[in-house]
Structure formats: C-alpha cells, structure tokens
C-alpha cells in the first residue's frame, strides 16, 4: 500500500514540475492586454481590437514602411481636379469563403458605420464625405444620399464635401474596411465569431475563446504573398508582469510591455528593444465638472506636471512631451504646451480661487488597470499634492472595457487616455477634440477650434495647413488647457531570437504577415 502512495506522490511531483513547452512549429504566440472589445471593424474604437482586425482584413489602401499610401484592395485610384471626387478601382480579390470583393461591400460598410442606430465612435472619420455628417446625425434619413456609390462591381466612387488632402490615408484605417451584407444580416449579433467571420486579409480567425485566446491562420484566398507563419496565437494576458514571466518561461514569443519594476533587469538582455510609435499619453479634464470648468485650475494642473519625472518613474525610453502631435508626424510642435513651472502653477490656482489648494473639492481621477497607468496616477497625485497642496484626489482604476464605457457615458473629473495614430497626418490627433468627435471625452466644444481644424484639413497648401494646426494646438493646450499631454510612448519589448522580421509599426500594427520563425534555435535566451 505504502509503495502505491509513494508512486502516486512521485507522479504528482512529476506532474507539478513545469517544463519549458515544446516550440510549436511555426506558431507565433503573442500577448494582447485585454479581450478585444469587438472584432466588428466598423464599431471598433480601441487598439487591441484594431491590431487584430489589421491582420484579418484589408481596406482600399494601406501604408508602406515610410507611410506612403499604396493600394490594397484598390489597385489604383483617381482624384478629380477639384479634389472632391475620388474613384477607387478594386483588384480581383476574394473573401475567405471565395466570394469576390465588390464595391458594394464598401458602400454597405460605410453606410452601416454612419448609421445613427449604431452610434459608432469613429463615424466622424467619414464626415468629409458628402452628406455623411447629416446622415450620421439623423438629419437625413436616406443612406443612399451619402456620397459613396458602387459604379459597378469593381469601381467605387466617393464624393467629398471638402477636398481633404488625406482621404486616401483614411481608407487605410480598419474602420473603413468592407463588410459582407449577407453575413452581417444573417448573424447580426455574432458575425464576428470565428465560425461566421469572413475576411479578405492575410489571416482568418480560426478560433476565438473569449477572455482567453484568439487563433489566426493563413487565409488561403488572400490575393497577396502568403504569410509564412502557420498559426498565430493571441493570448489575453492582462498583467504585463504575467506576460513577462510567460515570456521567460518560454510560453510567449514576444512581450510588448516590460513592467517598470523589471526594466533594469530585462533591458540588459540581448532580446530587448525599444521602439517609439505614434501614441500620445495624456490626462484629460471633464470641463463640464467643477472645479475643472475653471480654466485657471486646468492651467494650474498642467503647470504642476513634471513630465520628466513621470518618464523616469515608468522607465524605458519614452519621450516626455508638453505638446500633443507626436514626434515623427508633420505638425509636431514641441514648444506648444504648458511647461512645468511650480510658481506659475500656484499663482494659476490662486487665480482659480483656491490659494494653496485650500477648499479644493474632492476630485476623482480614473485610469485603466495597467501597472504603468497606476504608477503614473500615483506619481501625479504626489506631484499635484507637492506643488499645489491638493490633498483629496481619489484614484479609481477600472478594467479597460468598463473604462471605455465610463469615459463615453460619464467621464470623471480627470482621466487618463492615450491616442494612437490612425494615419500619419496631424489631423488625426487634432480632430479628436472637435465638438462632434465621438472620442472627445473632455466635453469641450469650441467653435474656433472646429473652424481651424476644418480650414487645416481642406487647405492644399502644406504651410498654410500647418499654421492652422499650430494655432489650434495653442488653443487646445495653452489657452484652454483642456488636456495635459505627458509623453509619447514606446514599445519596451523583448523578442525571442528565433522570431525574425517581426515589425510593429509606428501606428502600432504588428505585421504578422512577414514574421518568420527560425526553428533550429533553443527556446530560452
């Protein structure tokens, strides 16, 4: 009897020992920080979702490495002389079930995006199209009045209200990707599930276990070069530190965010890389709530914020910034914004009616539960306490999905947010704070700002455009201090040496299509 117990015990111990998992042939294991809120590209408004959609689906156009626009599902396009009509000619591409891609798929998708019933946050992306704004705000009932038409199966004509210079950039964005009317209407609730989803990109979604993992496999119908990977596993791992330990134990091939606490150790490894990208990290005020309806209070907070200290705390090579449009983009104005200046901050607060922070009401500051966000929040809480004497700032973390919802419905007095570039034009960062932008959580509405951005977007003279944008940035950051930009982000990441050609571009899209796995190597650094 005793012998058997020993055997059982040994078996137990044996099973309990973890081994480095065997490297699966040609599979890339990649972490995502949360369950993607949706894979319906028309309704998606966050980067986790769009990073995945980018692998599955393509649009009319796409970017090359230098951010020039080139054709994707459209192999060429023409812009009329007045700049108001764009005609796209589609290539012979197929959906993953073999059905041909038609111009009508785009018309359906864009009309659906603009349909006021769906209240898509990104609908404003298409507002430069004729009647798009009117239809989206229910002033017009007929979707066919919107300026997008299928001239035939392979020709799509877009009529613009304003001759915006960057329209072919907009059509690179997931929000504009085509949709299959038959699929969406047959499964209105769950057409994004693996069993229903049809896509045209290099990969198909072969499995989606909610809150756990998504599996991508090459799309046999893809018109371009086939991916070399046989399988991509996207694993939902909420904690960066968990992702790093999974990377260290060989359960992940890439970890995109090294937690600040592990940075000193990990940054010495040969697999460490720091890649900057077009994402600004900012704190916004809900300017309809006291005390931030007062410009002086907002200015005081902005002047009391030392970005260099924040970047030091969270480690890595992030770029501290007082301005909003990130480095690497035209329209980047590093000097526009409110600099760290404790004395000015205190005098602003006095002008706002709270000398030395006396009688300052209790304020709620919200952020989403990532380790880095928590550290930034705690550091800011301390900075504002030290400089302004404000004691009662309550920190409230929320889970990402809930957080997005809170910001849309009922934004708190101060909130953390980031904005990643959708296309490399300053318009993309500045139209966020337009009065009618679905992503403007500050509730700030400013006619002059709206006019400046519009003037900038339709002007065909680059220097005139930039001067409009410069003025708009001054208004947003200096005169009104609606947001406090903190820094531009970098991916502080580690990649296994056997993963080759892995690129994550400045718009944060990983390019799985070109990634290779070299199989002869050992699995651990």
Partner 1 sequence: MDRSNSPYKRSLRVFARDWKNLASLGFVLLLVALALFSRFVVTCDPDHQNINKITQSPNLQHYFGTDSLGRDLYSRVIYGSRISMLVAFITAAAGLILGSLYGTVAALGGKQIDTALMRLLDFAYCLPTLLLLILLNMLFGQGLVGIVAAISLEGMCTVARLVRGQVLQLKQMDFVLASLALGSSRSSLFCRHLLPNLIPPLIVTLTFLIPSNIMYEAFLSFIGLGIQPPYSSWGTLANEGWRGMLSHPHLILFPGTAIFVTMLAFHFLGDGIRVAFDPQSER
Chain positions contacting partner 1, by CB under 8 A:
239, 241, 245, 248, 259-262, 264-266, 309, 312-313, 369, 371, 374-375, 377-379, 381-382, 385, 394-397
Cα(first)–Cα(last) distance of the chain, in Å?
Answer: 45
Whichever of 259 and 291 has its CB closer to partner 1, that residue is 259
Whichever of 132 and 243 has its CB closer to partner 1, that residue is 243
Contact 390, 357 (CB under 8 A): yes
Contact 116, 146 (CB under 8 A): no
Whichever of 214 and 376 has its CB closer to partner 1, that residue is 376
**How far, CA to CA in Å, does 312 sit from each of 23, 35, 371, 376?**
37, 30, 15, 10
Smallest gap from residue 313 Cβ to partner 1 (A): 6
Smallest gap from residue 46 Cβ to partner 1 (A): 21
Whichever of 165 and 380 has its CB closer to partner 1, that residue is 380
Smallest gap from residue 377 Cβ to partner 1 (A): 7
Contact 274, 494 (CB under 8 A): no
Pick the closest to residue 76 from 100, 58, 92, 60 (CA basis). Answer: 60
Whichever of 245 and 478 has its CB closer to partner 1, that residue is 245
Whichever of 212 and 391 has its CB closer to partner 1, that residue is 391
Pick the closest to residue 180 from 114, 90, 95, 53 (CA basis). Answer: 95
Contact 135, 103 (CB under 8 A): no
Contact 374, 345 (CB under 8 A): no
Look at the alpha carbons of 150, 152, 153, 159 in this order and tell me if their dihedral is positive or negative.
negative
Smallest gap from residue 315 Cβ to partner 1 (A): 8
Whichever of 207 and 242 has its CB closer to partner 1, that residue is 242
- For 505-523, b/e burial (b = at least 16 CB within 10 A) is bbbbbbbbbebebeeeeee
Smallest gap from residue 163 Cβ to partner 1 (A): 49
Whichever of 144 and 378 has its CB closer to partner 1, that residue is 378
Other Cβ atoms within 10 Å of 354 Cβ, number = 21
Smallest gap from residue 493 Cβ to partner 1 (A): 17
Look at the alpha carbons of 143, 146, 151, 156 in this order and tell me if their dihedral is positive or negative.
negative
Smallest gap from residue 372 Cβ to partner 1 (A): 10
Contacts of 11 (CB under 8 A, 6+ apart): none
Smallest gap from residue 233 Cβ to partner 1 (A): 24
């Amino acid at each position: 009897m005793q012998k058997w117990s020993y055997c059982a015990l040994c078996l137990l111990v044996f099973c309990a020992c973890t081994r480095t998992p065997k490297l699966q042939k040609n599979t890339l294991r990649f972490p995502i920080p949360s369950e993607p809120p949706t894979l319906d590209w028309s309704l998606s408004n966050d980067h986790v979702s769009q990073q995945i959609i980018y692998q599955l689906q393509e649009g009319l156009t796409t970017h090359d490495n230098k951010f020039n626009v080139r054709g994707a599902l459209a192999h060429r396009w023409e812009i009329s002389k007045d700049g108001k009509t764009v005609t796209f000619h589609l290539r012979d591409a197929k959906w993953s079930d073999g059905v041909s891609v038609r111009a009508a798929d785009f018309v359906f998708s864009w009309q659906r995006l603009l349909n006021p019933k769906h209240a898509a946050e990104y609908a404003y992306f298409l507002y430069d199209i004729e009647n798009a704004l009117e239809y989206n705000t229910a002033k017009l009932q007929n979707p066919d009045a919107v300026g997008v038409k299928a001239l035939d199966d392979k020709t799509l004509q877009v009529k613009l209200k304003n001759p915006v210079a960057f329209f072919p950039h907009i059509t690179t964005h997931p929000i504009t990707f085509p949709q299959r009317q038959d699929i969406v209407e047959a499964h209105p609730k769950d057409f994004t599930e693996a069993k229903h989803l049809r896509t045209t990109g290099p990969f198909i979604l072969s499995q989606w276990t909610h809150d756990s993992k998504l599996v991508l496999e090459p799309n046999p119908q893809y018109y371009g070069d086939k991916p070399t990977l046989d399988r991509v596993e996207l694993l939902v791992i909420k904690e960066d530190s968990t992702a790093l330990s999974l990377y260290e134990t060989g359960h992940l091939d890439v970890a995109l965010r090294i937690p600040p606490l592990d940075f000193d150790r990990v940054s010495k490894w040969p697999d460490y890389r720091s890649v900057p990208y077009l994402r600004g990290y900012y704190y916004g005020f809900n300017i309809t709530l006291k005390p931030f309806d007062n410009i002086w209070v907002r200015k005081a907070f902005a002047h009391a914020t030392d970005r260099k200290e924040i970047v030091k705390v969270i480690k890595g090579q992030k770029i501290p910034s007082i301005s909003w449009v990130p480095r690497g983009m035209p329209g980047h104005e590093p000097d526009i914004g409110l600099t760290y200046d404790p004395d000015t901050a205190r005098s602003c607060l006095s002008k706002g009616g709270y000398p030395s922070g006396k009688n300052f009401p209790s304020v709620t500051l919200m952020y989403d539960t990532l380790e880095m966000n928590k550290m930034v929040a705690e550091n800011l809480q301390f900075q504002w306490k030290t400089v302004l004497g404000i004691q009662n700032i309550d920190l409230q973390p929320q889970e990402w999905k809930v957080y997005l919802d809170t910001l849309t419905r009922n934004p708190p007095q101060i909130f953390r947010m980031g904005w990643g570039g959708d296309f490399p034009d300053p318009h993309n960062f500045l139209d966020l704070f337009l009065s009618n932008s679905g992503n403007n959580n500050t509730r700030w509405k400013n006619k002059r700002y709206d006019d400046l951005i519009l003037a900038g977007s339709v002007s065909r003279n680059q220097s005139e455009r930039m001067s409009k944008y410069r003025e708009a940035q001054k208004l947003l950051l200096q005169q009104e201090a609606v947001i406090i930009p903190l820094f531009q982000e970098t991916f502080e990441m580690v990649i296994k040496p056997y993963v080759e050609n892995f690129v994550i571009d400045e718009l944060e899209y990983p390019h799985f299509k070109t990634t290779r796995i070299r199989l002869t190597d050992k699995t651990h650094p």
